[in-house]
């Protein structure tokens, strides 16, 4: 059996291994068995999902596996991933599970896990669950002896509880009254809750891509495709635009001029606002190796330390806990505010960005000048296998050649995706034209060797 867990849970094409019903039932048994060994367990598991058509199928299979081990399952229905983390940690569940493939297309799906404290699992815990899934025969035999099987319950007010939590994250004295927003919910998990949240906080809200049909999630919309949002912000003369991904743990923002801001830029704005208010612990901010070089320079001007973790918001959180940071995230839009929440949360990040705008009284385009973005090119190359990059002579040579050309005026990062059969080639350089050319130079070699 191949390694099941990637950078963010188990992910693949729905209805195919490992996201088929049979494996989902086994995963349910394995998850129940793993957490049965935890002390003071309640025997209760929370499951949420995004809007993709395969969600009900996989939720049902996973819940069946958990119930077969004598544990109870509580279903939230559609809810953002960070909502499951919050409800798990505040309601005494043994674990929280999300059926979602985040920003991927509708035909993919995934299984994400949170511990009872709302944090994602460690590598060791994931390996233990993988081993239990492999050992499905013994778990099946154990389930056969259980007469008092678990029951399935429905949590009808899950979104309301999560929304009230978010409302309380807005600092005292801050109001969104007078702000005009355009929200792109990616036809995903934020479609119902996000408009209500921002309207209740007195913002004027226009929504796009908020009508999920099971197959239109992330379809040329959301955090991965903010072009339509940018046009709408300008057309509506709005103060800003907010784009979430399918499970709403990412945020990409658009300023009043229609300029798209990356996760790094949003974090830089929030870091400056928090520093000025004395809220930036240490002070230090944690991002990943994918962060733009300009982010580090921006933090240096603020006299704030910059620590880089491995790719994945889970890795960022682990490093934040080590160094006592309260702000961290990824350029892709995952942002973690540990003084409020245990995981990346797109809507929470949006509130903190708007809080910075209201506190400063400045438009978003002005605040964005805190960071100068280095030209960056990212090419995803489909690969058939994932050998160590350094062992492929042609690729290693291509990388060295580009690094030699860039010197200290840029950088190269080549890594495999943790969730897809892709190699990500990223180059930053002094000009957009040169950066794109150098990135294509490496990507073509990767495609020839591994595609």
As annotated, the active-site residues are 102
Question: Residue 159: which residues within 8 A CB-CB, separation 6 or more?
Answer: 76, 79, 83, 192, 193
Beta-strand runs (E) in 29-176 = 44-49, 72-78, 95-99, 108-115, 152-154
Dist. CA 145–CA 50, nearest whole Å: 34
- 76 and 155 in contact (C-beta within 8 Å)? yes
User: Rounded to an integer, what is the distance from CA 285 to the centroid of its chain?
Assistant: 18
- 179 and 203 in contact (C-beta within 8 Å)? yes
Dist. CA 177–CA 265, nearest whole Å: 24
Beta-strand runs (E) in 352-409 = 376-382
Residue whose C-alpha is closest to residue 24's, from 103, 99, 102, 127 = 99
Dist. CA 125–CA 123, nearest whole Å: 5
Give the Å distances, CA to CA, from 18 to 13, 35, 235: 8, 21, 44
Token digits of residue 209: 């891509």
């Amino acid at each position: 059996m191949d390694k099941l867990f990637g950078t963010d849970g188990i992910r693949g094409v729905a209805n195919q291994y490992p996201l088929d019903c049979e494996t989902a039932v086994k995963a349910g048994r394995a998850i129940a068995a793993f957490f049965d060994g935890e002390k003071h367990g309640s025997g209760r598991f929370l499951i949420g999902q995004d809007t993709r058509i395969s969600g009900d199928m996989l939720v049902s299979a996973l819940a069946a596996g958990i119930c077969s081990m004598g544990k109870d399952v509580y279903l939230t229905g559609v809810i953002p991933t960070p909502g499951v983390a919050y409800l798990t940690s505040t309601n005494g569940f043994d674990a929280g599970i999300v059926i979602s493939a985040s920003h991927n297309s509708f035909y993919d799906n995934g299984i994400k896990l949170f511990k009872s404290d709302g944090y994602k699992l460690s590598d060791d815990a994931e390996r233990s669950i993988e081993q239990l899934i492999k050992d499905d025969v013994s778990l099946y035999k154990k389930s056969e002896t259980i007469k008092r099987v678990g029951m399935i319950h429905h949590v009808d007010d899950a979104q309301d509880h999560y929304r009230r939590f978010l409302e309380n994250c807005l600092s005292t004295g801050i109001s969104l009254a007078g702000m005009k927003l355009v929200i792109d919910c990616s036809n995903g998990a934020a479609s119902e809750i996000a408009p209500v949240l921002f309207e209740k906080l007195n913002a004027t809200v226009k929504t796009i891509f908020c009508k999920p049909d099971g197959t239109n999630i992330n379809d040329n919309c959301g955090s991965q495709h903010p072009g339509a949002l940018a046009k709408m912000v300008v057309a509506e003369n709005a103060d800003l635009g907010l784009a979430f991904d399918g499970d709403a743990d990412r945020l990409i923002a658009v300023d009043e001029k229609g300029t798209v801001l990356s996760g790094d830029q949003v974090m830089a704005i929030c870091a400056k606002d928090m520093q000025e208010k004395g809220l930036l612990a240490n002070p230090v901010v944690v991002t990943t190796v994918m962060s733009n070089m300009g982010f580090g320079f921006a933090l240096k001007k603020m006299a704030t330390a910059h620590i880089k973790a491995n790719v994945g918001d889970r890795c960022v959180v682990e490093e934040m806990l080590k160094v006592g940071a309260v702000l961290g995230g990824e350029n892709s839009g995952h942002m973690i505010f540990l003084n409020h929440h245990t995981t990346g949360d797109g809507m929470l990040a949006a509130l903190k960005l708007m809080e910075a705008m209201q506190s400063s009284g400045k438009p978003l385009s002005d605040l964005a000048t805190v960071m100068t973005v280095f030209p960056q090119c990212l090419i995803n190359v489909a690969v058939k296998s994932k050998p160590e990059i350094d062992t492929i002579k042609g690729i290693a040579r291509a990388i060295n050649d580009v690094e030699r050309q860039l010197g200290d005026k840029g950088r190269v990062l080549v890594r495999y995706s943790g969730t897809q059969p892709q190699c990500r080639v990223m180059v930053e350089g002094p000009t957009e034209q040169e950066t794109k050319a150098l990135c294509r130079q490496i990507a073509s070699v990767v495609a020839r060797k591994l595609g």
